[in-house]
Each structure stands twice: as C-alpha cells, then as structure tokens.
Structure 1
Amino acid sequence: MSTLDQLLNGFVTVFTGENLLLALVGCVLGMLVGILPGFGPAAAVAILLPVTFTLGPIPAIIMLAAILYGASYGGTITAVLLNVPGETSSVATTLDGYQMAKRGRAGAALTIAAIGSFIGCIVGLAGFVVAAPLSRFALEFGAAEFFALTILGLSLVIGLAGKSMIKAMISAMIGLAVGLVGIDPLQGVPRFTFGQAPLLDGLNFIAVVMGIFGVSELLSTVDHSSRFGRVMPVGRIWPTKQDFRRSVGPILRGAPLGFFFGLLPGSPGAATSFASYAIEKAVSKRKSEFGKGAIEGVAGPETANNSLAIAGMIPLFTLGIPTSATTAILMGAFIINGLLPGPLLFQDHPEVPWAIIASMFIGNVILLILNIPLVRVWILFLKTPFPVLYAIVFGFMILGAYTLDNNVFNIGVLLAFGVLGYLLRKLDVPLAPMALTIVLGPLMESNLRRALSISRGDLSVFVTSPIALSLIIAAVLAIGGTLAFRFWSRRRASLAASAAA
C-alpha cells in the first residue's frame, strides 16, 4: 500500500466520533497548558498518561499529541497579553508581541502567530509524511546498531540540554538508575530493590514522570503565578494587508528552520525561537522596529516553534528515539499499550502512526479555529487565581498516581520525584536527559547485552558494523563539537572582556 493510501486510511480512522472528540479535548487542554505559565506540556501529558489504560492506543496518543502542539499555541496568548511566556518556546514572542499589545494591536499579533503556527505545522507534517517511509531502512538494524543509536540520541541530548554538560550527565545518570530498578530482564534477579516488594516491578514510569514534571512544575511556579500584570486588551483581531505582507517571509523562513531543529534530540524551543528572531532581525530593512512591536518578531518565532513541535516526533515514530521530555512520555504511552515506536511500528501496526499523523493535521485546523475567534474566551482563564487551578491539578495527580495500581506506594513515588525534580530545577539541572534515560536506559541495556551475547563478548561488534560505527562516531562528534563550541565561546568572551578592560 502506498504512502498516500495509508495517509488517507489514517484520515478515515480519525474521522470517527471518539477520535475527533479526543483530538478536540487534547487541543483544548494543550491551549490551557500553554496559558498556564510554567506548567508545560510534559507535565500535562504525564498527568494524563493513566488515561491510556482505558482508551485504545490510537485515541489516547491522538489526545496526548494534541496537547503537545496545542501548548505552543496557548503559550503565545500570555506572551502577547501579559509579557509572560506560557512556554519557554514563546520567550522570543514577548519581545515584540507585548509591545504590539501595548499599542492596541494584540489581536493582530495573535492572529499572525496562529496563522504562522498553522503553516509551520503543515510544513512539519509534510516532512513527517516524507520521512515516514524511510523508517523501513531501520529494519536493517540489529542489536549493535540500536545500541549505537541510543548512544547517539543520549549524546545529543546531553550536549544540547542546559548550560552545563556535567549537570546534563548527572540528570542522565539519575534517569538510568531509575530505569534499572526491578527485575533483571535476562537473569531474572532483583536489583536496586533494597528488599522492598513494590520495587520488584520497577518504579512506575507514570508516577515518576508525573512527579519530576508535574509536581516539580507546581512547586516551582505556584509562588509566582499570581504576580502578573494587567491583561492587555485584544483590540482588532484581523491584521492589515501590510501585516500579512511583512509576515510572509518570516513564516517561510521559520517553518524549515523549526523543522530542522526539531529533528535534533534535546533541541530547546527557546533556542529555536531566538534563532528565528535573530534571522528576521538580520534580514529586515526595519531593524529599528524590533523590540518595539515588529510583526516579523512574532511571525518567525511562532512558526518555527510549531514546526519544531511536529518535527520533534519524527525520530520517535521512525527510529524509536524520543527527542524531548514530552516525546519520551509519549513513548511511554506507546509502551503501555503494547507498542514500540520505530520502524516495526510502521510495518506491524501501520494504522497507528498514520492515524496519529492524520490527526495532527485535523488538530491544527481545530487549533486555528479555537485560537482566533475564541481568543477573548481564553483570556477568562488568565483571570482565574492560579493557586486554585494548581490545587485542582495537584489533586488530580494524587488521584492518578493512586489509581495506577490502587497502591499508596505510587503516591510516595510521585511526591518523592516531585521534590527531586524541584531540587534539580533549583540547581539548574535539566530534566530532559533524566526522562530520556528512564525510557531509553532499558532499551540501551537490553541491546548492549544482546549484542555482546551474539558476539560472545567481542566488543568489536560495535565497530565492524558500518552503521553502528557511524552512529558511535556521530555521538563522539556531538559531544566533542559541543565542548569545542563552548570552549571557543568562553575564550572569545574572555578576549572581549580583556579588550574592553
């Protein structure tokens, strides 16, 4: 069956009452998550993971994916109206979006952002459809190749996550230790259980990620969430013809930029949006307007953000490698439903990935409808006391953790990892490497041991395979390149400071 036929079948699957309803629910929840400053999509997806027990894999993942790209839309609203980015990827939008709002042009900024976001997502989906058939080449991968692939993914995340590679490695080591708790999959003996029976099955993945992302988000933001300024008026919704003309170039440049960054594991949305902003300022003939309400400073970054959100799922679906904390949690949703993302997913269960890809297009149409005409409705949520909202969310997290196994132990896991996540945030330790190693750690271990078992302990299996060797070299270059770049940046800053003195 051709790619087009599979995509059309995916649309047929999505156009059912349940799937359409869950796409709408996911989009609405994603918007709300984006509006709540500090409460990111990773936390929301983690909280709703227990829903996957009652829904099938396709409906559940449609809803969870909609939360991911819906949050990018919602984060724009607070960035423009409050000068507070709902998502880190919306930080660059505050520079000109809020200035437009102060001049009574918030409606035009939000509309251009929504249109740019929609186009960025369409570009990301087009790349998704093109890249999906390429996953069949990964069917040639054996244990050694998959081990090398996980090493590359973790190397890229460690290299790109946070300002300190040491802190990123600490985060990854914590996640690796968490993923190894339970019964050894090959020898069948307990490890890291300390004689505790509840740990024999390992730490519940959902409780852990709800804690490190959900509870820690609440602890980090609840003290500051009610200290925002006055919500700016929306004004006229529809942009002028000049706004559209000035936005075409930034949108066309932002979409491929975001798509490229989305393919890189650990690529942060904030870096992508600022890269787009810098490009638009560099090529603009109106440089003096940037920071004072330039429409280009909204169109480019918002388009790049949403293209990145879609492209970030491509490595997960085609290779089984999550590129961010949220996609790592999505991978957990697949595993819970007995599916493993990667090339075998397209071969054995093609209806699942193609239905989800089709739902992304439908979801972005829904978001375009929700974002522009109903923007004044979303403003009402900004007037709700955030402590009230966070108290409700925390109650749902406690209930969700308990209902996983009807076990109070999971509540303890939730709270313990919530405190751990909060402390790591305080120490500026990135959480994404931890989430990725919790998921990838067992896969990395099993493929390493399988490869060594097949080769009878001969380590040369990782260098005699051209694919595995290439991936390992790429991992080394990723770490080495990051170290070299940071060293050069510090040296250049030191020389600049010496020259200024």
Structure 2
Amino acid sequence: MGEFFIQALGEVLNLWTLVLITIGVIFGIVGGCIPGFTITMAILVAFPFTFAMDPINGLSLMVGIFVGGYSGGLISGVMLGIPGTPSSITTVYDGYPMAQKGEPGRALGVGVLASFIGTIISVGVLVIFGPLIAKFSLNFRPWEITAMIVFTLTLVASLSNGAMIKGLIAAGFGLFIATIGLDRSGNLRFDFGINEFSAGFEMLPVMIGIFAFAQLMDNVQKLNKEKEKNTKEPDMNVHIPYRQIGKDLWSQKMNTFRSAMIGSIIGALPGTGGSVANFVSYDQSKKFSKHPEKYGKGIPDGIIASETANNAVAGGAFIPTLALGIPGDLVMAIMMGVLILHGITPGPLMFSEHPVLIGAIYVGLLVSAVIMLAAQFLLIRVFAKISLVPQAILVPIVLMLCAVGAFALNNTVFDIWVLFGFGLIGYFLSKAKVPLTPLILGVVLGHNLENQIFRALELDSSWLTFFTRPLSLLFFVFALLSIIVSIKQNKRAAQTEGGGIVGDETDQKIS
C-alpha cells in the first residue's frame, strides 16, 4: 500500500499536474460561486480538455474542479442569498443572515475552513475505511435506497421552520415535477400535450428558478423599500477574522467531525450526493444543538455543518464510482467517462489493477484541498465585492448569468422558460410562506425514488420486503423518529415564542 502511495505522490507532485489542479480548483470555485453554473457545468466544460491528457492528469484536473466547486457555492450563498450549487442550499440559511448582520467575512471564513476540514477528513475516511464502506454499500439494494430517500424526505419537517404541512405539500409537488415526462416503460406522463414536456424538466433550471429568481425578486422589493425609507446600505467590506474563525471551528469540534462523517458516508452511497449530505448534516446539527432556535438566523454552527458535509462528499463519492462502477451523480458519471476514455473500467478490480491511479486520486484530493484553502482566502474578497454592487445593476446581471447557465445545459431556449416559469412559482410560494427547500428536495430525489421502488418490486412484488430487510427497516425507523423529533421541536419553539411574548408584555407593564 505504501509503495503505490509513494508512486502516486511522484505522479501528482510535478509542476504540470500541480498547475492543472490549480486551474481546476480556481475554475471550480468560479463555477460554484456563479448561480446557475454549478460544479456539473464546470466539469462538463473541462471534460473535452481531458481527451489529450493521460488518466492521472485528466482526473487531477477534474478532482480540482470537484473540490473547488463544492467550496465555491458558499460565496454566492453568503453574499447574495443564492446557493451557487444545490449542495450549498443550507449554507444560505445562516450564511446570508450573518452577511446581512455585517459579518460576511466571518461567514465566508468559517465556510472555507469547514470545507477544507471536510475534504481532509473525507480523504482519511476514503483511505482508511474505503474497502469497508465499499463492502457495506454492497448491502444497499433497492429497498434500502428507497428507505434512505424516504428518510431524507422526512427532513422537510425540520427544515420547514414549523410549517410542516406546507413543507410536506411542497415535497409532494417536487416529486410530482419529477414524474413529468417518460416513465420507465416509455409512456408519457403529465406532458399536457406539450412536446417539450416529454423529456421532463432538468433539475438545474428548476433549482435556479425557484431559488435564484425568487431571491432576486425579493432583492428588488428590498431595494424599493430602502429607497422609500432612505436607509443607508450597511457596510459590507469583508474582513476575515482569522482568530474568531479558529474559535468558531474549535468550539464546534463534534459538529465538524459529525458533519464530515455524514458527508463521507452519504457520499459513498450510490444515488446520493452533496445535496442529501447538505440537508442531513444541517438537520442533525440542529437536532444536537443546545440552541436550535438560532439556526436560520445567522449562526456559524449551521454553516460549519453544511460546508463540512458537502465537501466531505468529495472523498466518499469516489467509493461507489471506483469500487462498484456506480456513479452517484452526473459529476461522478463524468469522472467515470474520463477513465473509460482511457480504457480503464471502474469496478472491484480497479484497486488491484490500478493502485497508482487510486493513490493519485487520494493525493489529488489532498492537494486540491490545500490549493482551495489558499485560493479561497486570496480570491474571497474579490468575490465578496459582488455584494457592494447596487442591486439595480446586480439583479439583471445575475439573472442573465442564471439564464446563460440554464441555456448552456442543453443549449435549448426551453430551459430558460423553465427557469422563469419555476421562478414565478417559487416567488409566489415564498410569498405564501411555503418553504422552497422541500420542493427542490422532491425534484432532486424524485427520479431515483421512482427507479428504486420499481426495481424493488421487480425483484420482489411484496411491499412487506421494505420492512423485513433490517437496513431498510432501520431507515424507515429513522424517518419516523425524524418526524417525531421535529414535531416536538416545533411545539417547544412555539412554547418558547409564547413565553417570550408574555415576558415582553410584562416588561412593558413594569416599565
């Protein structure tokens, strides 16, 4: 094992490969921080350049984009309130409020350092526990994956800020959106006679529309209110308080480690990814917190949970791709494409047949994490200045970038209409105080949920099998417990708010 690590170090730590990794990291950060561009777009743009490279250089470039992209999403999330990537959605919950309270540097710094730690820990998990996790993943059949997705969807209860029913309705609507188009048998569903609907909706323009468009419209409204009130814009000059960031991370050691493990494990499970890890980690951090009522109002704990987990996916995601030949998402599918392009078939034999290449991926992840940390702190002030641009200029520019990102996915104007259509839906739902996160979660997980249910029933027509398999039953129990805990937390929050109101009234009477 030590020999191929030494060989891998020699292959990666050369000038040209380091340059490729640096280019990949910076390009990934840029792709991640631009709403609508995302990691997937950055990977797709770079993919053709790997054709003329050897496998190690090609994968090194991709790994750099992968690591940089996962950390880049927090920049627009904190400064604009728009997640640059789906895996940074929960980062917005606390990052944007912190920026609005005059602490953008602290929010960004905490997120970057948490991203670095999450990546490093995930590489450790990949190196030490990779074979064990790969064997464990073999136990996940369609029944277990179905149960795991159901468990993830139950998180809408705790992520809906007390609006549990609205959250569940939003999740159901998201699942419905995922059913539009062709089913597994090739039959059209819910196309309403519109040809473009036959292929269904791409998740990217839906996500951009729901989050970005709604947020931009809110920004326009806030701009008008600020003009009416003649209020001064808050000073958003970014200063990175390194000592405070270190204290924040040190005080959240268990939260950081737990989130990194959640991200690594979820990343290792086929069919999941940064989005799922993002939600699960944030939810668990909130449940274990001594002050869950502060989440969503601007607390470093939420940023740490979100960014540590989504970056930890980077290491874990390679396990099913390399060991099983099962890519967990489109990004990993492109990674597989690089290998197949060079005549390497991912699968169980890859660890024994290409140990140096496996080691190069480990080293590439570590080197990318270090370069990402340096690049983020060097470039973060430049990106942070986006928030200083007047909203009247910023809104149309960001909206244009979102439209370009949606169009570039398939080079079709229809995706732009999808963006604006779901943007209006997201805007009106937000005005009705319907949480948008469950809606996106339903869209993201809908196709996989349907496929896994059909696969399970094809193998065994009995629905009881979902509850007789131990791992599947365990996930369903977790789902039930999640709902119960969420109900109790909502009741406790309602009682606390009620007590606060009474206290305020009493203080007013005394004064």
Asked whether the 8 Å contact 1:128–1:311 carries over to 2, the reply is no
Relative to structure 1, the CA distance from residue 488 to residue 397 in structure 2 (aligned partners, 3 Å threshold; closer, same or farther) is closer
**Alpha carbons of structure 1 residues 364 and 496: separation in structure 2 relative to 1, 3 Å:** same
Report the residue type matching 2:260 in the other structure.
Answer: F
- Cα shift at 1:191: 0.9
Measure, in 2, the Cα distance between the counterparts of 1:447 and 1:109. 38
Match of 2:165 in 1: 166
Structure 2 matches for 1:13-92, cutoff 5 A?
15=17, 17-30=19-32, 44=38, 51=45, 62-63=64-65, 65-72=67-74, 87-90=92-95
What is the match of residue 369 of structure 1? 374
> CA 1:89 to 1:71, structure 2 compared with 1: closer, same or farther past 3 Å?
farther
Percentage of matched positions with identical amino acids: 24
Pairing partner for 1:421 from 419, 422, 426? 426
Instruction: Give, in whole Å, the separation in 2 of the partners of 1:233 and 1:417.
Output: 33
CA distance in 1 between counterparts of 2:426 and 2:247 reads: 42
Contact kept in structure 2, 1:148 and 1:472, CA below 8 Å: yes
> What is the CA-CA distance between 1:405 and the residue it aligns to?
4.0
Evaluate the alpha carbon distance shift between residue 404 and residue 26 of structure 1 in structure 2; reply closer, same or farther with a 3 A threshold.
Answer: closer
Aligned to 2:444: 439
Q: 2:462 aligns with which of 445, 458, 480?
A: 458
**SS class of match (1:140):** coil
CA distance 1:230–1:245, change in 2 (3 Å) = closer
Structure 1: where are the runs of 5+ without partners?
A: 34-38, 80-84, 282-296, 321-329
Aligned partner (choices 244, 266, 273) of residue 279 of structure 2: 266
Query: 2 CA distance for matches of 1:86 and 1:467?
Result: 30
Instruction: Note if contact 2:39-2:65 (Cα within 8 Å) is conserved in structure 1.
Output: no
Aligned to 1:324: none
> Secondary structure of the equivalent of 2:423?
helix
Provide TM-score, normalisation by structure 2: 0.67
Match of 1:209 in 2: 207
Q: Give runs of aligned pairs for residues 295-306 of structure 1, distance below 5 A.
A: 306=307
Secondary structure at the counterpart of residue 174 of structure 1:
helix
Cα–Cα, structure 1 residues 254 and 155, in superposed 2: closer, same or farther, change >3 Å? closer
Quote how far apart the aligned CAs of 1:178 are.
1.1
| Counterparts in 2 of 1:114 and 1:446: CA distance versus 1, 3 Å | closer
What CA distance in whole angstroms lies between the structure 2 residues aligned with 1:29 and 1:435?
20
Maintained 8 Å contact 2:134/2:320: yes
- Contact 1:205–1:332, Cα closer than 8 Å, also in 2: no
SS in 2 for 1:480: helix
Count of aligned pairs: 446
Relative distance call for 1:114 and 1:298 in structure 2 (3 A) is farther
In 2, Cα distance between the equivalents of 1:251 and 1:434? 30
Shift in Å at residue 154 of structure 1?
A: 1.7
- 2:438 is paired with a residue whose SS is helix
Aligned to 2:269: none
Q: Which residue of 2 aligns with 1:181?
A: 180
Deviation at 1:193, TM superposition (A): 0.9
Residue pair 1:125, 1:310 contacting (<8 A) in 2 also:
no
Q: Is the 8 A contact 1:179 1:437 kept in 2?
A: yes
Tell me the SS of whatever aligns to 1:428.
Answer: coil
Deviations 1:104-148 (A, max 9, x none): xx8x99878866764465345534655544133121222222222
Alignment-derived partner of residue 146 in structure 1: 145
Q: CA deviation at 1:63?
A: 2.7
TM-score (norm 1): 0.68
Structure 2 residue corresponding to 1:480, chosen from 476, 481, 484: 484
2:402 maps to 397
- Contact 1:184/1:191, CA 8 A, preserved across alignment: yes
Deviation string 1:411-436 (CA, Å, 9 cap, x unpaired) is 22121011112222333333332223
Residues 183-203 of structure 1: CA deviation (Å, up to 9, x unaligned):
121x32211111222222222
| Aligned equivalents of 1:183, 1:76: Cα separation in 2 | 37
CA contact (8 A) 2:29 2:69 kept: yes
Cα 1:435–1:495, aligned 2, differ >3 Å: closer, same or farther? closer
Query: Deviations along 1:340-375, whole A, 9 cap, x unmatched?
Result: xxxx98758889998777555434423432354566
Q: Deviations over 1:229-285 (max 9, x none)?
A: 234585xx8968xx7996784364553254367576624759959988969x9xxxx
Alignment partners' CA distance in 1, 2:437 and 2:198? 26
Q: What's the Cα RMSD here? A: 5.1
Shift of 1:89: 3.4
Compute the displacement of 1:458 (Å).
Answer: 2.0
How far the C-alpha of 1:162 sits from its partner, in A, is: 3.6
Give, as a single letter, the amino acid of the residue that structure 2 aligns with 1:208.
V
- Judging changes above 3 Å, is the alpha-carbon distance between structure 1 residues 4 and 415 closer, same or farther for their aligned structure 2 residues? farther
Q: Does the 8 Å contact 2:25/2:372 carry over to 1?
A: no
Contact 1:150 1:444 in 2 (8 A): yes
Q: Per the alignment, do residues 10 and 18 of structure 1 end up closer, same or farther by CA in structure 2, a change over 3 Å counting?
A: same
Aligned partner of residue 15 in structure 1, secondary structure: helix
Q: How far is the alpha carbon of 1:459 from its aligned partner? A: 1.8
Cα distance in 2, alignment partners of residues 304 and 233 from structure 1: 22
Contact 2:180 2:190 in 1 (8 A): yes
